[in-house]
Amino acid sequence: MSNPTSTLSSTAVIGSEKPISYDINIPYLAVNVEEQARIEAGTHYPQYLPSWDPTWFDPLPPFEFFDPALRADASKSTLLGGFSVKLTDMTPRMGTMVEGLDLSTLGSVAKDELALLISERKVVAFPAQDNFLELGPTAQQQWMSHFGKPNYQPVSGSLKGHPGFHIIHRDGNREELSAFFSQKTTSCLWHQDVSYERQPPGYVMLGLLQGPDVGGDTVFAATDEAYRRLSPSFRAMIDPIKAIHSSANMINHTKAFGGLVRKDPVQSIHPLVRVHPVTGEKCIFINGEFITGFQGFKQPEYNALSNFLLNHIVTGHDFQTRVHWQPKTIVIFDNRSTLHSAIVDYFDENGAKPRHIFRLAAMAEVPISVIE
């Protein structure tokens, strides 16, 4: 989006031409046969290329969720007790790199402790996860299911037979990039994943299969620290506000784009300030992608307040961290206490460099209101 605080439009167009992508990271359409053959020849992970399987998904019914971090020992001795494990903080406030740990070997106790580490540090990166990537989609989805129910992406590419995988694959797309930046001033789209669901994801995994040598970072902001920076009077004002989250703009835009839709639009009402079930911290639960308004607010009032809050978070570089990707890196982040945006800076006059990443999202609790 050209403005990270604006609401998505389902009819963003270039004059009278076809709609442009609101998120340049996401491929909405399958490529032609010749392009598919070129892409398959250029990737080491053809089994993770996006598929547009027209499987229909019904709404996710309510379910009980108990955060695995609440079972964990605070020492995390099972997870971090090995001599080869090394922790390096990305910033003092958030983000940790864990080296010397093979995710594929973790049992239930270590996964519980991992959930606690993610809740505390918000973003945890694991480089050189060759063994985990060799597990394959079935085992990877089962591994991630320890942290919550899988999410099935309603639009864009997935893996055939593995609908919990959201696949982001960009390679070239020069015409799309040109159209996008003819209307947009930035590729940044600050959001929480799937916030429109009644029980949005708590833990989200990203796995980089292939990426540019330089660029393509992901930046995260801590929404609990953003809340603490506000004055007591301002915090008291926003505590009771309810926000309307909806996937309708995304669904309508995808239809206008000619892309595949696998699910009807979903709308949920969530607190603007939520309580993290593990840390107890109060977090601003807002994004520039899925929120359409605040209950009881007129549109200009909503625009003014949401623009202020998003600008506060986006410009708060002293409570942000940035992941510099390397191939075969796994990142797991807390979707409840962060906003994030991919950085599309890995393109030139010939188009985008190859970037291939998968996402697995674990659905968690109904957001807990600071009031209720």
Quick one: pLDDT at residue 280? Answer: 98
Supply the range of the domain harboring residue 174: 33-369
Q: Which residues of 49-66 are buried (b: 16+ CB within 10 A; e: fewer)?
A: bbbbeeeeeeebeeeebe
Quick one: pLDDT at residue 27? Answer: 76
Contacts of 93 (CB under 8 A, 6+ apart): 222, 225, 318, 319, 321
Domain presence at residue 337:
yes
Cα 46 to Cα 28, 41, 209, 331: the distances in Å are 18, 8, 10, 21
Q: Write the burial class of residue 68 (CB in 10 Å: 0-12 exposed, 13-18 middle, 19+ buried).
A: buried
Domain presence at residue 268:
yes
Residue 10 has pLDDT above 90, yes or no: no
pLDDT, tens only, 166-215: 998 888 788 888 888 888 888 899 999 999 999 999 999 999 999 999 99
The two three-digit tokens of residue 55, written as one number: 């499987």
What domain count does the chain have? 1
Q: In 3D, which of 116, 79, 146, 189 has the Cα closest to residue 360?
A: 146
pLDDT, tens only, 276-332: 999 999 999 999 899 999 999 999 999 999 999 999 999 999 999 999 999 999 999
Cα 181 to Cα 21, 30, 184, 310: the distances in Å are 10, 22, 5, 22
In whole angstroms, give the CA distance from residue 334 to residue 287: 15
Residue 2 has pLDDT above 80, yes or no: no
The CATH number of the domain holding residue 264 is 3.60.130.10
In whole angstroms, give the CA distance from residue 321 to residue 39: 32
Query: Full-prediction pTM beyond 0.85?
Result: yes
Measured at the CA of 77, the angle between CA 71 and CA 79, to 5 degrees, comes to 80
The two three-digit tokens of residue 60, written as one number: 């996710």
Residue 312, SS3 per DSSP:
helix
Domain presence at residue 17:
no
Residue 56 has pLDDT above 90, yes or no: yes
Helix (H) or strand (E) holding 252: helix 248-257
Contacts of 224 (CB under 8 A, 6+ apart): 276, 279, 281, 282, 283, 337
In whole angstroms, give the CA distance from residue 266 to residue 243: 14
Domain presence at residue 351:
yes
Domain presence at residue 236:
yes
- Span 344-350, average pLDDT: 84
Domain presence at residue 4:
no
Residue 40 has pLDDT above 60, yes or no: yes
Cα 130 to Cα 101, 153, 176, 208, 230: the distances in Å are 11, 25, 32, 11, 43
